[in-house]
Amino acid sequence: MPSEWPMLSYDRWRETCDTLHAHTQLLGKLAVALAPPEPQLQHAALRLTARGWETAPLPAPDGSGALVVVLDLRTHDAVVEHSGGGVRRIALTPDRPVGEVTREILDAVRALGGAVAIDPTPQEVPWSVPLDQDDEHTRYDPAQVASYFAAATRAALVLAAFRAPYRGRSTPVNAWWGSFDLAVNLFSGLPADPPSDDFIMRNAMDAQEVAIGWWPGDARYGRAAFYAYAHPAPEGFASATLSPTAARWDAALGEYILDWDDIRANPNPHAAGLEFARSAFSHASAVCDWDPALAASAEGTPPPVV
């Protein structure tokens, strides 16, 4: 079993990370195709559960019930389940191309729930080969996936604890298949102009928000880390000193960062992650001029119900 707070270096598991990321993209594409649309593209989000990455229950295309598609990171299978009891398993073995796994998952979905079509073009990644034709990404190391899953689970528990007392609108801990991160978004209740006319930006970022998240690193930033940003971010947003002391502003990313290695070095990693989330949100809500009572609820002492 990996450590509960394992070391996680993107450079060391890059090939497996990219393969797993590609597999999550298929789950996200199925959610986009089948789930009823929600504000901020919430219908497209996945969840990190005790099994791995999962879709929410999705309407079966043939009207026969609900489908759930899972990347089971304990048994290392992709699983397609129907609410009527049907189950199909597709092995995630070390040398199976993403394209082969994609085609088998889609066949299982169609066999259990009816015809479905997706856009197989990957999103927010440096490669462009369609998922169902991807023979490039084949590496899948179960031990590396287990370490990632242990780290992601710990990060998700931090994010869930941070979000829990907030009295405004917020998201659950979402698993985002485009950027391969976990995040919670807290909203002030006010609208905001999207940062661009890009499809994702204009649909996902049309409300004032603060996002706190975690990701396992990528080609831009080769270390796992917690992050925080605000939208829209006013002048002076980047000038805060957050806690713990290892937290810092990363100008290239445009986010506050707390590296995973600094979390692991803390005597209480969960408390350190929670401290970062609360510190970042306190700063963001203050400089963005949010309702003080609403912002204070995220500290863990929400106002009484009247």
Of 8-12, 76-80, 295-299, which has the strongest mean pLDDT? 76-80
pLDDT score of 267: 96
Q: How confident is the model at residue 251 (pLDDT cuts 50, 70, 90)?
A: very high
pLDDT score of 300: 75
Q: Which has more confidence, 290 or 204?
A: 290
CA angle 274, 40, 116 (to 5 degrees): 115
Contact 109, 30 (CB under 8 A): yes
The three-class DSSP label of residue 157 is: helix
Residue 38's CB is within 10 A of a number of other CB atoms, namely 11
pLDDT score of 1: 44
Phi-psi region of 289 (alpha: psi -120 to 50; beta: other; left: phi over 0): left
Chain-centroid distance, C-alpha 24 = 10
Taking the model in full, what pTM does it have? 0.94
